[in-house]
Structure 1
């Protein structure tokens, strides 16, 4: 029997080497026993006797830079004893908001924002740092964790190369998805307004039975029309006075955008 260290969890037993790991041998009865176990491999990293001893003595290892995800990508972390099990401890920033699924800590890694329980297969939360070719900042990740949705974000890019705007949402399975709907269409009433690269249009544009042609351009007379402006325009048929419209000569002026009787956006 190869004893490598005292058990760091119960303090009563000894850690004994087994075929697939190191196990505490403390056992008095089924109700009085220690289940602590260190496997001989975590994230494809072989746990030698020396590493297991270090883990038992310090309750953490040195930083490993050769741990592997399921897809083969490398990542860096220490292995620590937390809540009587072995978990990765990332050398990265911990986000303010906890995981909305399991309540665990969410940390920033090289490729994304991940629940501390993800690599132990106890949680599925993973937010990539790049989604549809758009960089996802810490602030956006925090908003997604806090509200399960973000504000509208610009400059996503589809596989076909089309640029679009959308909210990010976290569904019940903690999967990140897009929500491109802005508000109901004021013209046809059955469609929803969404944003593409150059304009805000109705989802019924492609419906041959309706063919709604409602559109508001993202730029009017040199002025960017925001999503908040579009929502106000669709709900009230007029925006507040907006600053920064430009005349052909370059002079700036203030004006409203209104919907006329044909539901066209015009500057007034």
Structure 2
């Protein structure tokens, strides 16, 4: 490289800034490994109660004052998921006048009452089956008690939201929980051969999913 050409440090090339300014100083907010932060000292941790705050969510908070409803926060006490918005704390813009050693609360939770809806009854214990992290669990199938301590699940029933590479439509899940066979579904993929196939689904007496294949019609001679 010629002597008169300055080499740009790799770290500078990797710096990413949000498209919204810092609420404290109006400067740029840098996307760090663990936090969104400004050179003035304003900072928000990227993970809050097991939810990773995306760049789009953080920009929305800085732009509008709060995020949309986020559904996957997890209580550190009970281990249960809950819904809430993330909102800029009222003191966020006034931090410049605060004691540097005082704790800084940059975001606060706005709780949202969004009841969990049942998609059907558990074929094993007749409790409600609810959607949790993309899969359908009996509400008795939990490994955390009300106090957050580990417990033995009272029921082990679960329907995985994806079967052989295909996401199950909620209508098919409801049919299965009602003891019905689903209609023919397209887009499954064989684990062994990788080939696509169509099949209907039904639940076995043990609560497992079984494929039902369409019989091929024999050609008349």
User: When the two structures are superposed, what TM-score results if normalisation uses the length of structure 1?
Assistant: 0.36
Q: Where is the strand percentage greater, Structure 1 or Structure 2?
A: 1
Where relative contact order (Cα < 8 A, 6+ residues apart) is larger, the structure is: 2
Larger radius of gyration: 1
